[in-house]
Amino acid sequence: MAQYTPMIQQYLRVKADYEDAFLFFRLGDFYEMFFDDALKASQILEITLTSRDGGSEDRIPMCGVPFHSAKGYIERLIAAGHKVAICEQREDPKQAKGVIKREVVQVITPGTMMEGAGIQEKENHYLASFEISGNEYAVAAADLTTGECRSAVFQSFDSALHELASFGVKEVITNGKWTLEETKQINGRLGAVVSIEEQESEIEFEPLIKELTHSLVRRAAARLYHYLHRTQKRNLDHLQPAEQYEIRDYMNIDYFSKRNLELTETIRSKGRKGSLLWLLDETKTAMGGRLLKQWIDRPLINEPDINRRLEIVETLIGSYFEREELREQLKEVYDLERLAGRVAFGNVNARDLVQLKKSIGQIPALTEVLKKISGKEVNQLADKLDPCTELYDVLDRALINEPPISVKEGGMIRDGFHERLDDYRDAARNGKQWIAALEKEEREKTGIKSLKIGYNRIFGYYIEVTKANLGLLEEGRYERKQTLANCERFVTPELKEKEALILEANEKMIDLEYELFSQLRGNVKEFIPRLQELARKVSEIDVLQCFAAVSESRRFVRPKFSKDRTMIIEEGRHPVVEKVLDAQLFVPNNCLMGPERDMLLITGPNMSGKSTFMRQTALISVLAQIGCYVPASKAVLPIFDQIFTRIGAADDLVSGQSTFMVEMLEAKHAIMNATDRSLILFDEIGRGTSTYDGMALAQAMIEYIHTNIKAKTLFSTHYHELTVLDQTLEHLQNVHVTAAEQNGKVVFLHKVKDGAADKSYGIHVAQLAGLPADLITRADELLHSFENKEEKPLVVNEGQLSFFDESVPVKEPAPKEDKSLISTLLSYDIMEMTPMEAMNTLYALQKSAKKTGN
């Protein structure tokens, strides 16, 4: 340390406490970075790297950004997965003795962003604490922008990881004792930053964790709150008590199934467009949009709760004009949750408070519209809306309608709100009028029409006369103050006296306005719990009106629920595909599964619509259990406790697993966790390995699910040999997606009918895909060759391999007296043969039969 200057020593002492963050060190009008921070930040931010003398032999690397434009640079660093510690000057440089006192006032991390491009209006911005103890895994996730905190306990690492993925967490807090593999999973699977918080004491945050009953969950929430207060270094009055939820209280859809069903984002683009959330989102408020996503992530399983939502949706559908009026009112409601968060955080400005005033000003109108609607549940929603009248009144009296963004330059408070402020304003306004009058008077007395009275911060008010007119001035009339190239500037005692009055009034006026604004902000803080409760109610109204609007416009129907696991979907549709294609082009299908029919084995060609049929069945169930109408002409559904899917093919590059291994792991997850109240969608299981292995696995899974689990299952396959299973499995039925052949080309009819498909149409699909004509012709020749039972299945060209491997020996039987084919066949030990040996032996028998005629 001794080799550096006192200022660099101060920097190094501060930096030692924030080694995992870029330290923005305030020097005058700039935030400066030194040493490694400067080297890394200059590359990431693409700013100039310089150096300075810090007292050592070598110059110190340095880079910096202007403090007034630092926000954009900070956002770029956060987006790149870094943290930023803001170190401010804490005393006036003019009064400092020695090095100016500096300290870190906030640490901004990927999970603690309060504003900026990284904060999406209709999405929560979560960070989470993750605790592990034995076979239990606790998660506590909080959104600092809204103050929400949710927590739960899980029985496996993967389950907890899937929940964090559903939250979309940006940062995970741990105790720092995790294994390298566990940390790698968080980084790789979630793309989240891992941070360490050692403090886990619960005493300080007892009011926030009092509702948590599980000790591991309490520890996770306490660690999370410690981290938030340590990094943000301020009172966070908007943090709400942590809510503990039970996974079994909601329909459980694991992360892979949510991805496969494209509930909130599409597989290909990772964006909203094309997802169920995109289709449904007719919400008018940002907080309503966030609640909609939460509902989709956690469908209900309690039938009375589901029916309550459906009842409100039905009422709103039947009240078109009131609903449209309601939607117009909701447009005027700003984000109450995040406004309350900004108030607590201390970064709210006058414009934010005006938005808050306008928002709560809409509540009486919302209540009135809801009261017009004849429906018990809707009227109860209206009764629960708190208009916060006292807060509206004080904001209305205090703030002008269009205040400036800055809170330290005045111009926010209404005239008449505060007597002393009015006095200062009067003095300032009269002083300026006096200046204008003096200028006019001096022009008349001197005869200099270009004479003017100006102002700057260095000299204050002055009288300016051009050099061409200096001869018109009487000697001694003014006191010379400044000489410029083209003019002279003067003052008078009277002007200086008035200047003192005006500047004093302006200065005191601005200081008093900021003081009044701070008091107002403090008053609003007291309303934060009421505002958060109001936000919850308005969000619920917004989502339910959204369901009504979508259900009516998309021709959805109200679902009913069965007690005996009956599923009747008549003319069901995939809501997203229907919207993208146009409703007139989409072919609806029935899905009928009574109490004794648990499994549909679906066959049909590629591109015929098998996956769409399976997905639409799951989406209809999700829609029903979030309380929305569904895309069908009739829907009677069981209430599912879980949905499992295995659709599509994808490698898991993070853990180095192949497509087939991922397929098997997802299948295992379903088979090990599903119940008879679950829904399973398996699409072409076993295609990632050899034909015989794949077919064997598929059949074994079908039998196991059918016999042991009895879950409602849709199982699509290209193994047509499996369609005979309906003869031995009483709860399985074959269905197929139809296609027709016209003029040598396949036409997909997209209609699901009972029975098995008669052929695959694989070559026709390849033709539709645009593969070369000679390739299609050759494939057709080979297909006919394979299907020809009188010749060897594959006639090869020179250089091609035979379909049968000549290197695999035929297992000839031991010589016997009876040489008939029957006795020969009976002599084989089939269970000891490999598939290739069996095929070659069968070929040899066929040749022998042709020769002998036996």
User: In sequence order, what are the beta bridge partners of 789?
Assistant: none
Give me the residue label for tokens 């853990």: 655
Quote the CA–CA distance of 371 and 447 in Å, as a whole number: 73
Instruction: Using DSSP, state whether 323 is helix, strand or coil.
Output: helix
Contact 462, 498 (CB under 8 A): no
The two tokens of residue 69 are 């434009």
Scan for tokens 């619509």, then name that residue. 609
Decide if 794 contacts 802 (C-beta within 8 A).
yes
Handedness of CA 29, 34, 37, 40 (dihedral sign): positive
Bridge partners, 454 (sequence order): 462
User: Tell me, what DSSP letter sits at residue 605?
Assistant: -
For the residues of 538-601, what is the DSSP string, one character each?
Answer: HHHHHHHHHHHHHHHHTT-B--EE-SS--EEEEEE--HHHHHHH-TTT---EEEEE-TT--EEE
How far apart CA 284 and CA 551 sit, in angstroms, is 16
Both tokens assigned to 259:
């991805």
Q: How far is CA 624 from CA 529, 559, 616, in A?
A: 32, 6, 12
Residues 6+ apart with CB under 8 A from 272: 264, 265, 266, 278, 281
Q: What length is written for the chain?
A: 854
Q: Is the dihedral of CA 163, 168, 172, 178 positive or negative?
A: positive
Give the CA-trace dihedral at 405, 406, 409, 415, to 10 degrees.
50
Task: Output the six-digit token pair for 156.
Answer: 């496996």
Structure tokens, 234? 């301020």
Q: Is 341 annotated as a binding residue?
A: no
Residue 252 assigned ligand-binding role: no
Do 415 and 422 meet the contact criterion of CB atoms below 8 Å apart? yes
Radius of gyration of the chain (CA): 37
**Helices 528-553, 363-372: inter-axial angle, 10-degree rounding:** 40
Distance CA 597, CA 577 (A): 27
Residue 610 annotated as binding site: yes
Is residue 607 annotated as involved in ligand binding? yes
Q: Are 748 and 725 in contact (CB under 8 A)?
A: no
Contact between 290 and 628 (Cβ < 8 Å): no
- Written as six digits, the tokens of 261 are 């069903």
**Is 593 known to sit in a ligand binding site?**
no
608 is in an annotated binding site: yes
Return d(Cα 660, Cα 644) in angstroms, integer: 17
Exposure of 13 by Cβ count < 10 A (0-12 exposed, 13-18 middle, 19+ buried)?
exposed
Annotated binding site: 604-611
Which residues participate in the annotated binding site for ATP?
604-611
